Amino acid sequence: MEIVKGVYALPWGRAPFMGLSPPNVYLVRDQKTALIDAGHAQPQAAEARLRALRQLGLSGVDYLALTHAHPDHAGGADLLCQATGARLAAHPEEASPPGAICLHGGQSLDLGGLQLLAIHTPGHSPGHLCFFLEERGILFSGDHILGLGTTVILPPEGDMGCYMESLERLLDYPITMILPGHGPAIRQPRRKIEELLQHRREREAQVLDCLRRGQGTAEEMVPHLYPELEPCLASWAQGQVQAHLIKLEREGKLARLKGEG
């Protein structure tokens, strides 16, 4: 499916867990071509994407740019690289096999006209990258920003402070559309980013309120913060709360709260 000129979605696959849509894989086509993420490792998932490439008249791809190394985004990387000849490009904290292009953020993949800028956006994972197609104003956000819902931040890999700082930095870019790693396109990007930041600030305030009421652990807080949560997601919710607690402790807010008591 062509989203805008030269940018295609190649959907296929299962959701990684309840409440999250299947991973998106994108193709950017200019004089050179780049896949954004690789989806699952199942051969049928890779074959579906290869079939889509063939339907577009492509037998090879120049780059496979990974937002991060979680299996629903990077699991199919080996299969797709072998089948298309694509050269892997990723942050070294996520993937650095021999011959890969190491992207720390600030470098661009030159597609022969279009430039795909890597932006380091740690938070969901330490080496998470978003890719900004500068000439189109399109941000490929991986799991940093989802089409529906909010991103899971699970310590120790996930870092809430880094996540919020990364969101704030994205406000400096002239983004006109976000193509997320899961879910539909986001056509009001600034509003979406500001909503995500506000949501995290409100959740942080709720965590502080729980602490003032004597609820000292993430496990104790979850029923109050997520009253309608499905039981199978309790561990994810506890991780989210723990990420907020780590951020608050790092900022000295927990110590100040104890001083008030």
Catalytic residues: 72
Kindly give the pairing relationship between strand 63-65 and strand 7-9: unpaired
Supply 6's token pair. Answer: 């030269």
d(CA 6, CA 148): 24
d(CA 165, CA 121): 8
E strand segments, the chain? 2-4, 7-9, 26-29, 33-36, 63-65, 87-90, 101-102, 108-110, 115-120, 129-133, 138-142, 177-180
Supply 169's token pair. Answer: 């930095």
